[in-house]
Amino acid sequence: MTARYASWLRQAKRDLEYAEKSLEQGYYE
Q: Coil, strand, or helix at residue 28?
A: helix
Q: CA 19, 24, 26 angle in degrees (round to 5)?
A: 95
How is residue 20 annotated by DSSP?
Answer: H
> What's the length of the chain?
29
Distance CA 7, CA 28 (A): 32
Distance CA 27, CA 13 (A): 21
Taking only the tens place, the pLDDT of each residue in 5-29 is 999 999 999 999 999 999 888 877 6
Domain boundaries, the chain: 1-29
- pLDDT score recorded for residue 1: 74
Distance CA 9, CA 14 (A): 9
